[in-house]
């Protein structure tokens, strides 16, 4: 057993996957409530990697793997973006031979290794009673695995793609939409000055929410999303028409990074995949830019229309959280503690139809959350559609 003085119990918390604004407020929400209730909180560094790389020796320096959280620590970080615990895309159930920690290399020698047994031993060595992972469906899918192994897990959803099943809202989504609106509005001056198309690539591997909501809010004329393979000629024709109707003579399309051409597949930077089997996306915005420029003369009396091409990327996920991503994470953290205090675990904290709640953690791996094309996306006009907004969730497209 590690030399850690416990009180009422010990809670573990970690953040995994891509950073988003709102993670630090969530960590604070958990920690402040836990300390008030008499628990100790241990923060694991680098997501699941902190639990994989630990060495169970009393005098070993594990400061790069975990730290005891105090009110002073979490108060200082709570107003900032990112995660002070850091993050990774480590999947303990599938660790490559080269990434197995040095002290375990003699035991785990396969090309892919399941280190779950070590993770459970490390949790036990630290005296962790309940683990609270904060992440997207990849990070939380391993939380489901630990739950099935019998460990107490309460999950908090985070991802700017807003695609964790079972919840209308994931930490980071509001700030992502806010940033997208701000950045696209800033880019309008260049697009209008030169009378160009504006092609903006945004996040969204399997779900198009980060393109849909800003488009609905007026950031763009059109959007193309992963859920519908689009016709590039139709998109170009629409953009030309939009440009002709605009007194400033420009038009805009938001392109989800996972969007696909009609008859095509996702565009990847290379063949290397992460621990969850995902290849790095990249390039669809560049290809759309080249294609709409090339095809523009077909719909513009033989004249080519130039393009402002921008990939928002990390600009949409950096910086401080907005008001929604300051309040919701705090509430999520407190709900997680309320469940723990009631002896309830194996749950995912959610927002559904405007109310906070919780659902079985297995929901994360049993279904997918994507845009309902028939209800929310006009495949002819390549933009969002709604017949009515009454009784819809705050961000319109719920789980």
Q: How confident is the model at residue 278 (pLDDT cuts 50, 70, 90)?
A: low
pLDDT at residue 4, as a whole number: 47
Residues 154 and 188 placed together within one structural domain of the fold = no
Quickly state the pLDDT bin for 270 (edges 50, 70, 90): low
Same domain, 16 and 92: yes
> pLDDT tens-digit profile of 80-113?
899 999 999 999 999 999 999 999 999 999 999 9
Residues serving a catalytic function are: 161
Q: What is the pLDDT of residue 1?
A: 41
Phi and psi based region of residue 189 (left: phi greater than 0; alpha: psi -120 to 50; beta: remaining): alpha
What is the reported pLDDT for 272? Answer: 67
- Residues 105 and 35 both lie in one domain: yes
CATH code, domain with 273: 3.40.50.460
Do 258 and 335 belong together in one domain?
A: no
Same domain flag for 196 and 167: no
Q: Would you say residue 74 lies in a domain?
A: yes
Are both 231 and 379 inside the same structural domain? yes
Per the domain annotation, does 166 fall within a domain?
A: yes
* Mean pLDDT score, 187-212: 96
Does 89 reside within a domain? yes
Write down the H helix ranges in the chain. Answer: 23-36, 48-53, 71-77, 116-126, 137-148, 173-194, 209-216, 232-245, 284-299, 324-341, 363-366, 373-376
- β-pair type (130-135, 10-15): parallel
Q: How confident is the model at residue 10 (pLDDT cuts 50, 70, 90)?
A: very high
268: pLDDT strictly greater than 80: no
Domain assignment present for 390: no
Domain assignment present for residue 282? The answer is yes
Q: What is the CATH number of the domain that holds 49?
A: 3.40.50.450
Over residues 257-262, mean pLDDT:
95
Is the pLDDT at 343 greater than 80, yes or no? yes
Residue 3 lies in a domain: no
Give CA–CA dist 212/229, Å, rounded.
15
263 and 166 housed in the same domain: no
Residue 70 lies in a domain: yes
Residue span of the structural domain in which 358 resides: 10-171+322-366
Cβ contact 248:241 at 8 Å: no
148 shares its domain with 33: yes
Answer yes or no: do 276 and 346 share one domain. Answer: no
The rounded percent of the chain whose pLDDT value lies above 90 is 87
Q: Which pLDDT belongs to residue 387?
A: 86
Per-residue confidence band for 273, with pLDDT thresholds at 50, 70 and 90: low
pLDDT at residue number 96: 95
Instruction: Name the domain count of the chain.
Output: 2
Label residue 2 by pLDDT band (50, 70, 90). Answer: very low
Quick one: 190 and 307 in the same domain?
yes
Question: What pLDDT, in 10s, does the model give residues 369-383?
Answer: 999 999 999 999 999
The mean predicted confidence, pLDDT, of the chain is 94
- At residue 182, what are phi and psi to the nearest 5 degrees? -65, -45
Q: Do 349 and 240 sit in the same domain of this protein?
A: no
Looking at the structure, tell me whether residues 129 and 245 fall in a common domain: no
Rounded to 5 degrees, what are φ and ψ at 378?
Answer: -90, 110
pLDDT score for 399: 76
Domain assignment present for residue 188? The answer is: yes
pLDDT at 3 over 80: no
CA dihedral angle for residue 313, residue 315, residue 321, residue 323, rounded to 10 degrees: -90
| pLDDT value at 216 more than 50 | yes
Condensed to tens digits (0 to 9), the pLDDT of residues 32-44 reads 999 999 999 999 9
């Amino acid at each position: 057993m590690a030399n850690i003085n416990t009180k009422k119990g010990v809670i573990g918390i970690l953040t995994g996957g891509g950073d988003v604004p709102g993670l630090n407020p969530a960590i604070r929400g958990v920690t402040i409530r836990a300390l008030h209730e008499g628990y100790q909180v241990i923060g694991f560094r680098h997501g699941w990697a902190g639990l994989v790389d630990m060495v169970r020796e009393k005098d070993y320096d594990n400061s790069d793997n975990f730290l005891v959280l105090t009110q002073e620590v979490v108060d200082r970080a709570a107003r900032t973006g990112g995660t002070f615990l850091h993050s990774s895309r480590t999947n303990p159930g599938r660790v490559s031979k080269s990434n197995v920690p040095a002290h375990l290399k003699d035991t785990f020698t396969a090309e892919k290794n399941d280190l779950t047994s070590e993770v459970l031993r490390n949790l036990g060595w630290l005296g962790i009673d309940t683990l609270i992972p904060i992440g997207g469906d990849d990070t939380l899918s391993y939380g489901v695995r630990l739950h099935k192994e019998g460990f107490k897990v309460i999950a908090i959803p985070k991802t700017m793609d807003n695609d964790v099943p079972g919840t209308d809202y994931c930490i980071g989504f509001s700030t992502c939409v806010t940033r997208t609106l701000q950045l696209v509005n800033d880019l309008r001056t260049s697009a209008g000055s030169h009378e160009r198309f504006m092609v903006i690539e945004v996040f969204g591997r399997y779900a198009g929410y980060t393109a849909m909501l800003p488009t609905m809010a007026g950031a763009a004329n059109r959007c193309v999303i992963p859920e519908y393979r689009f016709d590039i000629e139709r998109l170009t024709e629409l953009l030309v028409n939009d440009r002709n109707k605009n007194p400033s003579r420009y038009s805009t399309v938001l392109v989800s990074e996972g969007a696909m051409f009609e008859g095509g597949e996702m565009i990847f930077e290379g063949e290397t995949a992460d621990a969850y089997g995902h290849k790095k996306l990249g390039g669809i915005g560049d290809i759309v830019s080249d294609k709409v420029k090339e095809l523009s003369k077909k719909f513009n009396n033989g004249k080519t229309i130039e393009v402002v091409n921008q990939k928002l990327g990390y600009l949409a996920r950096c910086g401080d959280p907005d008001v929604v991503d300051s309040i919701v994470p705090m509430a999520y953290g407190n709900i997680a503690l309320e469940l723990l205090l009631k002896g309830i675990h194996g749950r995912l904290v959610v927002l559904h139809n405007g109310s906070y709640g919780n659902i079985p953690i297995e929901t994360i791996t049993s279904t997918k959350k994507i845009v309902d094309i028939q209800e929310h996306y006009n495949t002819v006009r390549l933009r969002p559609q709604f017949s009515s907004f009454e009784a819809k969730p705050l961000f319109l497209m719920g789980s």
